[in-house]
Amino acid sequence: MKHFIPGSLLLIFLCCLFPLYGQQHPISEKVEISGLVAHPFTLTPGDTQGLRLQTIKNDRNVTGMSGEIKQEIRTFKGILLRDIIDKAGVDMPHKKDRGRYIVYVIANDGYKVAFAWNELYYGPAADHTWLLLEKNGKPITKNGRFTVFCASDVVTGPRHVKWVSKIEIRRLD
Pick out residues in 36-65 that bind Mo ion (CB under 5 A). Answer: 64
Task: Indicate whether 27 belongs to the interface with ligand MTE (CB under 6 A).
Answer: no
Q: What is the distance of C-alpha 79 from the center of its chain?
A: 12
Q: Which residues contact 130 (CB under 8 A, 6 or more apart)?
A: 56, 76, 78, 79, 80, 81, 148, 149, 150, 151
Task: Indicate whether 149 belongs to the interface with ligand MTE (CB under 6 A).
Answer: no
Among the listed residues 102, 109, 122, the one whose alpha carbon sits nearest the alpha carbon of residue 168: 102
> Rounded to an integer, what distance in angstroms lies between the CA atom of residue 24 and that of residue 22?
6
Q: What is the distance of C-alpha 17 from the center of its chain?
A: 27
Of Mo ion, ligand MTE, none, which one does residue 107 interact with (CB within 5 to 8 Å by kind)? Answer: ligand MTE
Q: Which residue is nearest to ligand MTE (CB)?
A: 157
CB 147, CB 170: distance < 8 Å: no
> Rounded to an integer, what distance in angstroms lies between the CA atom of residue 103 and that of residue 106?
10
Q: What is the distance of C-alpha 15 from the center of its chain?
A: 30
Minimum CB–partner distance for residue 164 and ligand MTE (Å): 7
Of Mo ion, ligand MTE, none, which one does residue 118 interact with (CB within 5 to 8 Å by kind)? Answer: none
* Coarse DSSP helix, strand, coil percentages of the chain, rounded to the nearest 5 percent: 25, 35, 40
Task: Indicate whether 62 belongs to the interface with ligand MTE (CB under 6 A).
Answer: yes
Interface with ligand MTE (CB under 6 A), residue from 49, 71, 118, 152: 71
Task: Indicate whether 157 belongs to the interface with Mo ion (CB under 5 A).
Answer: yes
Nearer of residues 45 and 157 to Mo ion, judged by Cβ: 157
Site string for ligand MTE, 118-147 (x = CB under 6 A): -------------------------x----
Nearer of residues 70 and 74 to Mo ion, judged by Cβ: 70
Interface ranges with ligand MTE (CB under 6 A): 62, 64, 70-71, 107, 109, 111, 143, 157-158, 160-163
